[in-house]
Structure 1
Amino acid sequence: MFGNLKKKIDEDYFKTEVTKIDDNDVSIAMDSQDKVDDKINNSGLLQKYSELAKLMYGMLKDYRRGVYSKVPWFTIATVAFSFLYILNPLDIIPDFIPGLGYIDDMAIFTFGLRFIESDLHNYLDWKIEEEA
């Protein structure tokens, strides 16, 4: 099972799926913040990403409001894809499978973080400067 998961969730899969994200998907991800937060906070595997998810939502909000534009579209699409994937209960490993259902969600979230880590740091630096 895990070998199959590794084959399905790789860099090519991730990049392909992220390139399919459009502005409407970003809106859906934004409108689903409470559901994503609930799912992250109520799953043992994803809880450690709670603060990062809040930061990512902050970046999406500031991007959508036009107050933060120093972010490439790929980063915005990566955040939206990660959140939409977490929301999908019937993804590669269905969420209702006890003990295993959130492994692919965690893999996608972690994979996304690898791609956008520097953009998140830049956003956090910008946010700190704005508040000062």
Structure 2
Amino acid sequence: MSKMTEQKADQTLRDSASQVTEHDIETVLTKEQEIKQKVRGSGTLQMYLDAVLSMYALIKAYWQGEYREIPWFTIAAIVAALLYVFNPMDFFPDMLPVVGLIDDAMVIATCVKLVKQDFAKFERWQRSPESPSGSRDPEV
């Protein structure tokens, strides 16, 4: 069995992000609870719960037109990563013990690394007075 490497996760994410559409954003938003539940319910993915919550906060702010100071690649990479987590038949099918969610975790980690600066800017904006949420934390 081939293994998921950081380079494979990066390439998978970039390839998928290049194909993301607005319909994919809608899909990710409608699957929010299922994706969050999958992350919460997995020891492997659990450590990325805060990142997934931040991803959803950013996507919602973008989709609602509240925050648009973000490159399309960042939105596309986040959507691609969340769709990857949602897909049970990805690089390693989720039903495989132990390794089934490792690729999901690697894709999320790679996404966070790729968009780290944009996340930081978004989080500063969230805490600013011009944000609709003011200084509130993202919804958990």
List gaps (5 residues or longer) in structure 2: 136-140
Partner of 1:82: 81
Does 1:23 find its partner at 2:14? Answer: no
Name the CA distance, whole Å, in 1 between partners of 2:3 and 2:63. 36
Q: CA 1:71/1:97 → structure 2, altered by over 3 Å: closer, same or farther? A: same
Q: CA deviation at 1:8?
A: 7.6
Cα-to-partner distance string for 1:1-53 (whole Å, 9 max, x where unaligned): 3x542288243332122101111011101111100100000010110111111
The 3-state SS of whatever aligns with 2:47 is helix
Runs (4+) of structure 1 moved beyond 2 Å? 3-8, 10-14
The 3-state SS of whatever aligns with 2:43 is coil
Name the CA distance, whole Å, in 2 between partners of 1:99 and 1:55. 26
TM (normalized to structure 2)? 0.87
Does 1:33 find its partner at 2:32? Answer: yes
The count of residues paired between Structure 1 and Structure 2 equals 131
Cα-to-partner distance string for 1:50-98 (whole Å, 9 max, x where unaligned): 1111111011101011010011110101111111000100111000011
TM (normalized to structure 1)? 0.92
Does 1:69 find its partner at 2:42? Answer: no
Over aligned residues, Cα RMSD in angstroms?
Answer: 1.6
Partner of 2:138: none
Partner of 1:108: 107
The 3-state SS of whatever aligns with 1:5 is coil
Report percent identity of matched pairs. 26
Higher helix share: 1
Partner of 2:117: 118
